[in-house]
C-alpha cells in the first residue's frame, strides 16, 4: 500500500493538469483522482491516466481521499474548500485563495473547526528571479535595497474566458497581482505605511487588465508593483536600487546584472557630455573604473518544495512556508489597491503587519 498522501485535483483545466505533472514524482503526495464539472475535462483526466470522480460529493465521501486541491476559477474556491473541511479533508487552494478578506476568514474558521490544514499555492515564492532579489535584499549585495520595482508585462490582453469577468474573480490584480504582492511582503519584513495605485481598464473588460501599485514601507523601502497586458515592449522583471549599486533582472531567462560603485577607484569628476540639445555632467555615464559590473548572485534557497512542505505540515513536522496570516495580509493589500484605484487617494493605516514569518 502506498504511504503517500492522496490528493484529488478539483478543476482539471490549465493549472489542475499542471499540478498533476508537478506531483508526478513527488515522494510524499500523489494524485489519486480528479473532478471537473465539464465532461470533456473528466475525459481528458482519464486519458491522462487519472481516475475521474463523477461529482464533488463523490470526492468528499471517499474516505481514502486525504487532500483536495482546488484549481477552479477563483469565485468557487471558498465554497469548495469549506465543503472539503466539513468532510474532513485537508485543502491546497490555488491563488487567489478567494476574493476578499472576509471570505478568507470564513475559510480559515472552517479549517480550524475541522482541525484541517489549508495551504495556498503561492508558488512564485519559489521563482528563481524572485529568490535572487530576496538574496540581494537579505545579504545587502548592493547595500541596503531601498527601491524595488517588480513588473510582469505581456501583450496578449487578459487570457481565457472567466478571467475577463468580475463574478468569477477575474482581472489581473487578482491573477498576477496576488503573486507579486505575496513576493514583496515575503521579502520586506516591514509595515506598509502608505499605498496608492492606478488600475487599467483600457481593453474594455469589466475587470482590470493591469495595474500599478506604489507601496511605502516603514523601514524606508519603496516598491512599485506593476502588471500589464498591453505592453508590446516590456520593462525589466526586476529593477532594484541599493545604497551601493543597482540591479536588474530583465526576463524569465534570468538575464541581468549588478552594477555597483568601485570603492577603490580614484574619484574623478565626470566630463560633460552632449545630451539632446544640451550638455550634462549629472547624466554622464560613470567611467569604467568607477563601477564594477557583476553577474547576478546565487538565489536564496527555500528549505523545501511546496508539496514537500505541505506534506510535512499535515504530518505535523514543519511550519508552512506559505502562512495563512501572510495570505490574509495580501488579500487585505489587494482590497487597499482596489480602493486606492477607485478613490485616487493614498491609503494609510490599513496593513495587517506584523505577521509571523
Q: Which is nearer to ligand NAD, 53 or 238 (CB)?
A: 53
Binding of ligand NAD by 74 (CB under 6 A):
yes
Binding of ligand NAD by 170 (CB under 6 A):
no
Residues 271-290 that bind ligand NAD (CB under 6 A): none
Q: Which is nearer to ligand NAD, 136 or 225 (CB)?
A: 225
CB of 18 to ligand NAD, least distance (A): 7
Q: Pick one of 72, 141, 194, 216: the residue that binds ligand NAD (CB under 6 A).
A: 72
Binding mask 5-44 for ligand NAD (x = CB under 6 A): -----xxxxxxx------------------xxxx--x---
Q: Which is nearer to ligand NAD, 35 or 137 (CB)?
A: 35
Q: Which is nearer to ligand NAD, 58 or 292 (CB)?
A: 58
Beta strands 29-35; 5-10: pairing state: parallel
Three-state DSSP string of the chain: CCCCEEEEEECCCHHHHHHHHHCCCCCCEEEEEEECCCHHHHHHHHHCCCCECCCHHHHHCCCCCCEEEECCCHHHHHHHHHHHHHCCCEEEEECCCCCCHHHHHHHHHHHHHHCCCEEEECHHHHCHHHHHHHHHHHHCECECEEEEEEEEECCCCCCCCHHHCHHHCCCHHHHHHHHHHHHHHHHCCCCEEEEEEEEECCCCCCCCCEEEEEEEECCCCEEEEEEECCCCCCCCCEEEEECCEEEEECCCCCCEEEEEECCCCCCCCCCCEEECCEEECCCCCCCHHHEEEECCCCCCCCCCCHHHHHHHHHCCCCCCCCCHHHHHHHHHHHHHHHHHHHHCCCEECCCCCCCCC
Q: Pick one of 22, 48, 58, 76: the residue that binds ligand NAD (CB under 6 A).
A: 76
* Alpha carbons 127 and 130: distance in angstroms, whole number: 5
Q: Which of 353, 355, 330 is nearest to 174 (CA)?
A: 330
Binding of ligand NAD by 123 (CB under 6 A):
yes
Binding mask 173-212 for ligand NAD (x = CB under 6 A): --x-------------------------------------
Binding of ligand NAD by 71 (CB under 6 A):
yes
Q: Pick one of 32, 65, 73, 247: the residue that binds ligand NAD (CB under 6 A).
A: 73
Q: Please, are residues 97 and 77 in contact by the beta-carbon 8 Å criterion?
A: yes
- Number of residues in contact with ligand NAD, rule: CB under 6 A? 25
Q: Which is nearer to ligand NAD, 35 or 130 (CB)?
A: 35
Binding mask 80-99 for ligand NAD (x = CB under 6 A): --------------xx----
Binding of ligand NAD by 292 (CB under 6 A):
no
Binding of ligand NAD by 224 (CB under 6 A):
no
Binding of ligand NAD by 241 (CB under 6 A):
no
Q: Which is nearer to ligand NAD, 12 or 104 (CB)?
A: 12
Report which residue's Cβ sits closest to ligand NAD: 13
Binding of ligand NAD by 171 (CB under 6 A):
no
Q: Which is nearer to ligand NAD, 20 or 145 (CB)?
A: 20
Three cell numbers at 289?
573604473
* Alpha carbons 135 and 299: distance in angstroms, whole number: 6
Which positions touch ligand NAD (CB under 6 A)? 10-16, 35-38, 41, 56, 71-74, 76, 94-95, 121, 123, 160, 162, 175
Amino acid at each position: 500500500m502506498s504511504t503517500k498522501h492522496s490528493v484529488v485535483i478539483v478543476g482539471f483545466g490549465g493549472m489542475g493538469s499542471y499540478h498533476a505533472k508537478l506531483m508526478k514524482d513527488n515522494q510524499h503526495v500523489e494524485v489519486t483522482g480528479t473532478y471537473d464539472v465539464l465532461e470533456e475535462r473528466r475525459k481528458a483526466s482519464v486519458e491522462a491516466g487519472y481516475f475521474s470522480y463523477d461529482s464533488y460529493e463523490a470526492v468528499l465521501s471517499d474516505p481514502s481521499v486525504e487532500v483536495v486541491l482546488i484549481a477552479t476559477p477563483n469565485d468557487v474556491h471558498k465554497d469548495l474548500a469549506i465543503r472539503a473541511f466539513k468532510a474532513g479533508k485537508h485543502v491546497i487552494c490555488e491563488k487567489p485563495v478567494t476574493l476578499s478578506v472576509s471570505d478568507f476568514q470564513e475559510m480559515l474558521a472552517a479549517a480550524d473547526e475541522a482541525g484541517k490544514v489549508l495551504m495556498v499555492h503561492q508558488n512564485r515564492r519559489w521563482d528563481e528571479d524572485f529568490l535572487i532579489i530576496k538574496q540581494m535584499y537579505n545579504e545587502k549585495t548592493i547595500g541596503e535595497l531601498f527601491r524595488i520595482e517588480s513588473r510582469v508585462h505581456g501583450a496578449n490582453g487578459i487570457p481565457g474566458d472567466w478571467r475577463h469577468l468580475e463574478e468569477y474573480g477575474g482581472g489581473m490584480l487578482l491573477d498576477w497581482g496576488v503573486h507579486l504582492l505575496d513576493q514583496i511582503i515575503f521579502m520586506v519584513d516591514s509595515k506598509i505605511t502608505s499605498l496608492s495605485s492606478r488600475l487599467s481598464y483600457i481593453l474594455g473588460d469589466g475587470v482590470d487588465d493591469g495595474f500599478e501599485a506604489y507601496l511605502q514601507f516603514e523601514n524606508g523601502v519603496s516598491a512599485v508593483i506593476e502588471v500589464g497586458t498591453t505592453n508590446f515592449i516590456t520593462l525589466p522583471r526586476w529593477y532594484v536600487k541599493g545604497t551601493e549599486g543597482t540591479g536588474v533582472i530583465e526576463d524569465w531567462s534570468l538575464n541581468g546584472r549588478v552594477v555597483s560603485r568601485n570603492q577603490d577607484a580614484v574619484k574623478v569628476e565626470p566630463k560633460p557630455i552632449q545630451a539632446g540639445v544640451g550638455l550634462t555632467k549629472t547624466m554622464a555615464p560613470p567611467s569604467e573604473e568607477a563601477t564594477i559590473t557583476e553577474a547576478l548572485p546565487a538565489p536564496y534557497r527555500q528549505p523545501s518544495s511546496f508539496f514537500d512542505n505541505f506534506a510535512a505540515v499535515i504530518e505535523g513536522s514543519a511550519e508552512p512556508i506559505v502562512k495563512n496570516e501572510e495570505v490574509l495580509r495580501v488579500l487585505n493589500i489587494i482590497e487597499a489597491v482596489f480602493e486606492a484605484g477607485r478613490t485616487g487617494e493614498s491609503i494609510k493605516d490599513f496593513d495587517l503587519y506584523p505577521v509571523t514569518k
